[in-house]
Structure 1
Amino acid sequence: MSEFSGMEELLQDFILESCDLLSDVDNKLVELEKQPNNTALLNDIFRGFHTIKGGAGFLNVKAMVTLCHRTENLFDKLRNGELTLNSRVMDVIMDATGVVRDMFGPLSQRQQPVSADPALLAALDEALAGSAASDAAPAAAPVATAPVVAAATTAPATASGAEPNWATLMQVIVPAAAVAAAPASTATPVATQPALAPIPAQVPAAVSGEVLPAAAPAKTPAKAAPAKTNAPVSSSQQENTIRIDTNRLDMVLNLSGEIGLTKNRLTTLRTEILQGHSDPNTLRSLDEAVSQLDLLVSDLQNAVMKTRMQPIGRLFQKYPRLARDLARQLNKEVELIIVGEETELDKTMIEDLNDPLVHLVRNAVDHGIELPEERIAAGKPAKAEVHLTAEQVGDHILIEIQDDGKGMNADVLRRKAIEKGLIDVETANALDEKQCLQLIFLPGFSTKDQISSVSGRGVGMDVVRTNIQKLNGRIDITSVPGEGTRISISLPLTLAILPVLVVRACNQAFAVPLAMVREIIPIDPNVIQEVSNKPTIVVRDEILPLKSLSHLLGWEPTDKPAFGVLMQSAAHSFILAIDSFVGRDDVVIKPLQNIRPKGVAGATLSGDGSVVLVLDMEDLMNNKDVTPAALRTPEYYPG
C-alpha cells in the first residue's frame, strides 16, 4: 500500500501547485542573478520555497524537507544580508532547485523520492558557512540521485478543475509540522526507493529529458550514468489537467441553457407541423428557431474552445533557466527576453511545442550567439539577446525566436550539406538563399564538426520541423550574416477545429488544410511545361511542380483536372491538380479506428451527411510524381 494512502488528493494538489511555484522560483533566480541586491525578489523566492517545504513536511516527504530546509536557510541568510550572492552560491542554489524538481517524479507515482546526494547537501552547508564566498574556489558539482520517473505535472487536478488552495491550507496547518519534520543536523533520511540512473543536478527545468552538464568543474561519482541528450518527451510526462477561468465555464453553462430552451421551442413547432396545425407563422417561427439554434451552437463551440486555451507563458517560463544554464556552460553571456506571455493557445499544442522550442532556444544560444570576445571584436555588446515572442495574427499564432548573433551563411550551409552527402552538387547549386536556409531541417544536418553534449548530431532541427508539421504549422527562417537569425513558427489557434478547403477528385470529396492553401488557379494543359522530366507550371515567374490528386491517391482519374490549388508546406510549394472544389469549411477531425490509410489524417462529415476524408499532404507527397507525358495523353483525360 502507498505511504500516501488517504492523502492522494492532497498529494496531487501539492505536486501541481509546487511545480508552478518552483518554475516561478527558477525564473526569479535568473532575474536575481542580474539584480543580486533586489530584496523583493529574494523575499518572493524565499516565500515560494518555504511553501514547497511546508507542503513536503505535511506529507512527510523527508528527503525533500531535508534539501528544502538547507536551501531555505541559504535564502534566509541572503535576504538578511548575512551572505553575499555570487556565482558559486547561485550554482549551488540552482543545483538544489533542480533536484527538488526531480523529486516530484517519484511523488507523482505515489513513491517517496530518494535522498539528495550528500555532495549537494555538503555544498549547501559550505555555502551557509560562507565557504562559497569566493568565485575562484571551484566546488564539486553535486550529482542528483533522485530518479526521474515522470514529470511532476502528470498529476491530475481536483475533480472540480478549480485552482488548488494548497498554499492557503498550508498557512494554517503546516508550520508546526514543517518545523517538526525539518532535521536539525546534516544527516539525510534513509531512501525508501532504489535509485535509478543518476543524472547531473544541473538539469534545467525546461529541458524535459535533455540533460546539460554542470557549468562548473564537476566531480562525478563513478556510479553516475552518462547523460542522455535529445531525449523526446514521453506522453506520460505531459499534463493531463487544465485550469479554466470560472467565467468561461459560466458562459458554457449559460449557452447550454439557451440551447435547451431553443430545443424545446423546436420540439413544439415540430409537433404542430406533424399534427397539421401549422400556418405561415409556424414556418416563420421554425426558421427563426433554427437560426437561433445555429447561432447558439456556434457560440457554444467557441466557448468550449476557449476552455482549452491556455496562456503560452506557462510554457515560456521554463526557458530563462534553460538559456541561463546553457550560456554558463558555453561561457557565453545571453539574456532571454520573453514577449507575449499572455497569448493563448490550445493546451495540447502548448505541450507539443515544448520539444521544438527547447531545440530552438538551445540552438540560438549554442549556434547563433558568439563568445563575448568575438562579439566585442565585431562591435557588439558582450551580452547577447535572444527574443522569444508570441502574438495572435488573425486565426493563427505567430511564435518567433530571434537572436543578434552571427547569423547563417547560405554558402556554408550548402557546402556542409554536400560534405555530409545530404544533397548532390547539382541540387545544391540550384538552391537560392532561402532554400539553403531550409537545409538545416534535413535529418543528419549539422554545422558542428564535433559532437558535444549540446549539439552536433543533426537531429534537433529535424525534430522541430516534424513536430511543427504535425501541428499543421509552418516554420520559416530569415538570417543575415553578422546580424542574427529569426525563426518564425505559424500555428493554428486550435487543432480541435480545422479550417479546410473541400475539393473533389474522382467524384469524391476530400479536405485539405486551409493553412497550406495559397490560392486556386485554372489549369490549361497547354501551359504545362517539363522541367527535369517533371510537370510544372509557371505562376508569376515562380516554377511550381504539378501533382495530380488522383495520382497521389493511386486512383484512375475520371475527369480532366480543371483547377490547381497552390499549396505551401514547410518543405516546398506545389500545385495540386483537382477536378473541382466545393469551398471552405471548418471541420472536426475524427480518427479512423484500426486503420491508417496512406495520406489520410482523419475523416469528417459534410453538411449533407457524407464522409469527407481529411488528407495529410506531406504523407501523400511521398508518392511518385506523375510524368508530363502522362498528363498530356488522351488516356489521362478520359472523355
Structure 2
Amino acid sequence: MIREAEAKEYAKDLEVLLAETDEILANTEQNLVLLEKAPSDSALLQELFRAMHTLKGGAATLGLEEAVSVCHGMETVLDEVRTGQRSVTSEMMNGLFKVLDWLKDWRNAIGEGAEGPPASGILPVVEALQICPSPSEGPQSNVPLKWPETCEKLPAKGAAGALTASLEALVSQGNPVYVLTVRFRTDAPLLSVRCFQVLTLVEEVAEVAGSSPSLEDIENDKASDALTLYVVGEKESEQAQRIAATVQDVVEVSVRRYTVNTTIAGASSPDKKPEIRVEKTALGKTVRVDVALLDSLMNMVGELVIDRTRLSQIAARLMSNSETAAVGSEISSLASHLQRTSSELQDGLMRARLLPLKSIVGKFPRMVRDLSRRCGKETVFSMTGESTEMDRTVLEAIDDPLIHLLRNAVDHGIEMPDERERLGKPKAGNIRLSAWYEDNQILVRVEDDGAGMDPERIRRTAVKKGLITEEASRKLSEQEICELVFLPGLSTASETTEVSGRGVGMDVARQNLERVNGRIELWTRPGEGTQVTLRLPLTLSIMRALLVKCADEVYAIPTSSVEEIFSLKDQSIGSVRGKQAMKVRDRIVPLVSLKGVLSDSPWQRDGSRYALLTRTQAQPVALGVEELLGEEEIVVKELRGLLSRVRGVAGATILAEGDPAVILDINRIL
C-alpha cells in the first residue's frame, strides 16, 4: 500500500516536471537563437542559466541522474560565459543546440515511460564544451550533485544536550572550537544535498565535532536553508569557511568562536519557551486543468445555452396570451438572468481553453535557422503577435501548416545570397510570422521577401501531373493558377530535398484549417515575395450560424462563411460556359442550390428564394436556399463513427426547439 502511494506520488511529481520541462526547453531553444545574435546579452545568459539550474533541480528530485549531469554541463558553460570567463562562439552554439536536442529526446522518452537516452551519447559534446572544470580553477566551481560512495558518518548528535556536553569537553581539554554557519538560498532545491556537500568538504580539511541539523536528519531530507557545523581548530575553521563558500546556492558563511555559554543551534533555553515559527505557504496563482474536463464543462454550458433559448421562446408564447402574460413576464426575467450568467460562464470557459500563439512558435526560430544553414541561405526571422490567444484545438491544427509554410519560405521563397545581391536585395532574406485579431477572427500570416511564385511554372506543372487540363488551365487567372498549389501532389521544386519539394505541404495545410472552420489565403508577386494568411475562428465550441431550410430540413451554416445575402427575385441569373451564374455588382459568380449540392441534382430555380454569397478556398460561390430562418448562437456537437466521415458535414447542433440540425462545411460541399 505504501509503495502504491509512493508510485502515485512519483507519477504526480513526474507529470509536473514534464510540464515544466516543456516550458523550459521551449524558452531555452528560443533564447539560444537570440543568444547567437546577441552573445553579450547578460539578461539572456542569466535566463538561460536559471532555466538549466531549475531543470537540473527538478530532475535531481526524482533521481533522474542522466539529465542532472547534462543540465549541470549546460549550466557550467553558461555560468562561465555570463561571468566573462569565456566567449560565445559558433562552435559553442552548435554544441549547446546538440545538448538541447538530447534534452528534448530525454523528455520525450520519460514522458512515454522509457528510461531516456544514455548521457554517454552526448558526453563527447559535453567534453568538447569543457563543461567540467577542475576544482583548482577557483572557488566558483560547482560541487557535483552526487553522494560520495564512502563517507565516515558522524555520531548522531541530534540531541542538543549531548552535543553541548561533547563540545564543552573539547573546550575544557584546550581544543578551540568554532561555529561555522552556512546559509543557502531560501528557494534553493535539494537543500539536503547542499548540506551534505558542505559537510563532506569541510570534513576533508577539519575535524567536525557535530552539526545541526545532524547527519542523520540530513540523510532523511530534514535540512533547512541553514547549516551549523562545529569545527575544531582555528586554521581549520578558516579553510572550512573558504571551501563552504564554493558550494552552489550558498549565500553566506560566517565563523565565530565557541564558548561554554554559546547556545547550540536547536537547543532551547530552560528559562525561555522556544519560539514557534510558522511560515505562510505561498500557493501558486495558477493550476493545471485537464483539457478533457474543460471540454466536458463546455458541453454542459452548451446545454445551458440551448435551455436559455428555449426558455425565452416559452416566455414569449406565454406573454402573447393575456391570461398567462404575468407568468411569461417572470419567466422572461428569469431567462434574461440565466442568459447573463451562462454567457459569463461561457466566456470564462472559453478563455480557459485559450492558449497564446507563443505556445507553439518557440521552436520556429531554431527551425528557420537550421533550415537556412542547410540550404546555404541567409535569413532574418521575426515574429509579432505571439501573445495572440486562440482555442487549443485551433492552435494544434495550425502547428503543422505553419511548419510547412516556413519550410517553403526558406526553401522556395528566399533566394541564394548571391542571387539576392544581384537583384539588389539585402543578402539576408526576411521571413516574418505575425498574428492579430480582426473582427471575430484571428489572422496568422507567414510572409517573405523572396522570389514569389511563377504562375506559368505552376500551370505547366499542374498540367504535366494531370491535375488540370491544358484547356482549363488557359482559362484561369494568375491568382487562380497560384492557388493550384493547394492541390494534392503539386510541387514545382526541381528536386526533392530534406526540407521540402514533395508536394505534401500546402494541401495538408488547407485540410487542417478546414477541420477547424478556417481558411487559407494566398498573395504572391514574382520577385517581391509571398504572403500566406490563415483565417481562424475564435472558438470551436460555440458559434454564430445562419439557419436555412432546404427540402423541409433545417441546416446551420457558420456566419463566418457567408459574406452577403441576396433575394433571387432581384437578381438576374444567366449561364456561363454551361453553368448557372449570377452577377454580384461587377463580378460574375457561380450559382448552385443547396438542394442540388446535397442531392447531386442540377440547378433548379424553383424553390430557392435566397442566395448566400459564400467564400470558399477557391472563389466566391452563390448558394441558393429555400428559406432563411434567422441567425442563432449554436453549440457545436462533434460527430463520431460513420457520420464523422460524411463529406461537407462539420458537426451537428440542437436547436432551441429541441430538434437536431446539421452544420454544413461550405468549403467541403462547394
Compute the TM-score of the two structures, normalised by the length of structure 1.
0.72
What is the CA-CA distance between 1:324 and the residue it aligns to?
A: 1.3
CA distance in 2, matches of 1:599, 1:178: 66
Output one character per residue of 1:348-405: Cα deviation in whole Å (capped at 9) or x when no partner: 1111211111111111112111122222222222222211111111110011111111
What is the CA-CA distance between 1:504 and the residue it aligns to?
A: 0.8
What pairs up with 1:115-514 in 2 under 5 angstroms? 115-116=118-119, 118=121, 120-128=122-130, 171-173=188-190, 176=193, 284-514=329-559
What is the CA-CA distance between 1:65 and the residue it aligns to?
A: 2.1
Q: Mark the CA change 1:10 to 1:422 in structure 2 (over 3 Å): closer, same or farther.
A: same
1:522 aligns with 2:567: yes
Greater relative CO (CA pairs within 8 A, separation 6+): 1
Output the amino acid matched with 2:666.
M
Farther-moved stretch of structure 1 (1-10 vs 442-451): 1-10
Choose the corresponding residue for 2:662, options 604, 613, 629: 613
Contact 2:546 2:557 in 1 (8 A): yes
Q: Mark the CA change 1:619 to 1:403 in structure 2 (over 3 Å): closer, same or farther.
A: closer
Contact 2:517 2:665 in 1 (8 A): no
What is the CA-CA distance between 1:87 and the residue it aligns to?
A: 1.3
Q: Mark the CA change 1:312 to 1:175 in structure 2 (over 3 Å): closer, same or farther.
A: farther
Instruction: Give the number of equivalent residue pairs.
Output: 501
Choose the corresponding residue for 2:38, options 35, 40, 57: 35
Q: Mark the CA change 1:495 to 1:81 in structure 2 (over 3 Å): closer, same or farther.
A: same
Provide the identity percentage: 34
What is the CA-CA distance between 1:100 and the residue it aligns to?
A: 0.3
Choose the corresponding residue for 2:20, options 14, 17, 23: 17
Aligned to 1:588: 635
Output one character per residue of 1:393-446: Cα deviation in whole Å (capped at 9) or x when no partner: 111001111111121222222222223332221121111121122111111111
What is the CA-CA distance between 1:466 and the residue it aligns to?
A: 0.8
Output the amino acid matched with 1:472.
N
Secondary structure of 1:171's counterpart equals coil
Q: Which of structures 1 and 2 has the bigger CA Rg?
A: 2
Output the amino acid matched with 2:190.
I
Output the amino acid matched with 1:599.
G
What is the CA-CA distance between 1:487 and the residue it aligns to?
A: 1.0
CA distance in 2, matches of 1:553, 1:439: 26
What is the CA-CA distance between 1:506 and the residue it aligns to?
A: 0.7
Aligned to 2:584: 539
Aligned to 1:107: 110
What is the CA-CA distance between 1:179 and the residue it aligns to?
A: 9.8
Secondary structure of 1:530's counterpart equals strand
Q: Mark the CA change 1:370 to 1:25 in structure 2 (over 3 Å): closer, same or farther.
A: same
Output the amino acid matched with 2:188.
Q
Output the amino acid matched with 1:111.
A
CA distance in 2, matches of 1:439, 1:504: 33
Choose the corresponding residue for 2:623, options 566, 573, 576: 576
Aligned to 1:153: none
Output the amino acid matched with 2:550.
A
CA distance in 2, matches of 1:289, 1:129: 69
Q: Which runs of 5+ in 1 are unaligned?
A: 131-167, 181-240, 622-639
CA distance in 1, matches of 2:186, 2:647: 54
Secondary structure of 1:560's counterpart equals coil
Secondary structure of 1:172's counterpart equals coil
What is the CA-CA distance between 1:30 and the residue it aligns to?
A: 0.6
Q: Mark the CA change 1:286 to 1:462 in structure 2 (over 3 Å): closer, same or farther.
A: closer
Q: Which runs of 5+ in 2 are unaligned?
A: 133-184, 198-285
Output one character per residue of 1:565-619: Cα deviation in whole Å (capped at 9) or x when no partner: 1111113322212111112222111134444144322221222222211123344
CA distance in 2, matches of 1:32, 1:40: 10
CA distance in 2, matches of 1:242, 1:473: 30
Output one character per residue of 1:256-284: Cα deviation in whole Å (capped at 9) or x when no partner: 9xx9xxx9xx9xxx9xx9xxxx9987664
Aligned to 1:221: none
What is the CA-CA distance between 1:285 and the residue it aligns to?
A: 4.0
Q: Mark the CA change 1:86 to 1:178 in structure 2 (over 3 Å): closer, same or farther.
A: farther
Secondary structure of 2:47's counterpart equals helix
Contact 1:506 1:559 in 2 (8 A): no
CA distance in 2, matches of 1:458, 1:493: 30
Contact 1:506 1:550 in 2 (8 A): yes
CA distance in 2, matches of 1:602, 1:353: 20
CA distance in 2, matches of 1:483, 1:456: 21
Contact 1:57 1:174 in 2 (8 A): no
**CA RMSD across the alignment:** 3.3
Output the amino acid matched with 2:342.
V
What is the CA-CA distance between 1:36 and the residue it aligns to?
A: 1.2
CA distance in 1, matches of 2:194, 2:503: 51
What pairs up with 1:549-564 in 2 under 5 angstroms? 549-554=594-599, 560-564=607-611
Q: Mark the CA change 1:519 to 1:280 in structure 2 (over 3 Å): closer, same or farther.
A: closer
Contact 1:74 1:124 in 2 (8 A): no
Choose the corresponding residue for 2:59, options 51, 56, 59: 56
What is the CA-CA distance between 1:103 and the residue it aligns to?
A: 0.9
CA distance in 1, matches of 2:422, 2:656: 64
CA distance in 2, matches of 1:174, 1:505: 71
Compute the TM-score of the two structures, normalised by the length of structure 2.
0.69
CA distance in 1, matches of 2:363, 2:637: 33
Output the amino acid matched with 1:479.
T
Contact 1:78 1:84 in 2 (8 A): yes
CA distance in 2, matches of 1:279, 1:469: 48
What is the CA-CA distance between 1:129 and the residue it aligns to?
A: 7.8
Aligned to 2:89: 86
Q: Mark the CA change 1:566 to 1:279 in structure 2 (over 3 Å): closer, same or farther.
A: closer
